[in-house]
Amino acid sequence: GKMPHDRWQYFSRRMSNLGEMQDATYLMYGLRETKSAWELEMLRESGRINREMFEAVREVGGEGRSELEMAAAADEVSRAAGFGGRIRMRRWPMDCDRVVIAAGRSGAVPSYFDSAIGGLGASPISSLGAGHAKVVAGEPVIVDIVHLHRGYVSDCTRMFCAGRLDEESMSKLNDMAEIRDSVVASLGRGEYCSEAWRIGSAMADEMGYSEHLMGMPPEQAVFLGHSVGLELDETPVIADRFDRELPIGGTMAIEPKVIYDSGAIGTEDTFARTPDGMECLTMGDSWDLLTEWDS
């Protein structure tokens, strides 16, 4: 595990009479990878509330609305449903904003967060998530929402636009959905997560997105999906060197995105691997890839 050195010294002193300490981090990580039936129910409920947050964004959003105004509407739904205020992450000292809304060019701004998008944030001290940028007609708006129900993470992304989104951006969005479907199918077949990464990244290369997949050089994230549970960044990950399958009972957010100077385009849903295949725990096909507000 990882913690500041002074905290490690504190715990070492307090526990010195217990003998030599061993690092059980990866043992715990392995145990967390397979969810129980009860945990899967919590994740399904988390996904249901996640959808209600998107409905709130759809209701209040539109041309001239700021990212923060729309995020506030989603936050209200989440809090009313019992969100406790914290998203747990493994990587020290990572934290995240659970409602990342990036309008237009703010979707292209890299951040300290290890992901395709970060958003401008409300100020330099909180430079992640929704900020003061406003929706402009015809520009892509990416909405990436995390909700926790009784601690369990659902993660979902959809695109919005005031008026019509241009055909080129729509083509990119459809390509990301195609990559997502191929990655999900690979996981459902029991193939290694590294193979799912190879399939997805090869498709992106063939489509001409190698310099834009999950960011722009040198700030590209090198994964296409991450496991979720009590933490946002669980294992395994759709990335190189994860030479093992997503286990039955494993839950993972699949999120292919491409980033350009004009903004971010992508989609994301959270899935569980079951004995019968991959189950979508968030909106899936019941919510379109793109929602258009009246302009």
Report the half-sphere exposure of 294 (CA within 13 A, side-chain side). 2
In this predicted structure, what is the pLDDT of residue 159? 99
Take residue 60 and report the two structure tokens written for it.
Answer: 């209040």
Query: For each successive 10 residues of the chain (295 residues), what is the average pLDDT?
Result: 80 86 86 97 99 99 98 97 88 74 94 81 85 97 98 98 98 99 99 99 98 93 97 96 98 98 98 98 98 94
pLDDT at 95: 67
Residue 19 has what pLDDT? 84
Calpha distance 117→132 (Å, rounded)? 16
Helix, strand, or coil here: 144? Answer: strand
Domains, the chain, in order of start with CATH, read 30-286 (3.90.230.10)
Q: 3-class SS at 157?
A: strand
Residue 248: what pLDDT?
98
pLDDT of residue 93: 60
Distance of alpha carbon 90 from alpha carbon 182, whole angstroms = 28
Give the contacts of 2 (CB within 8 A, at least 6 positions apart): 91, 92
- pLDDT score of 262: 95
Check: CB of residue 263 under 8 Å from CB of residue 119.
Answer: no
pLDDT cut 70: percent of the chain above it: 98
**Model pTM score:** 0.94
Confidence (pLDDT) at 94 = 64
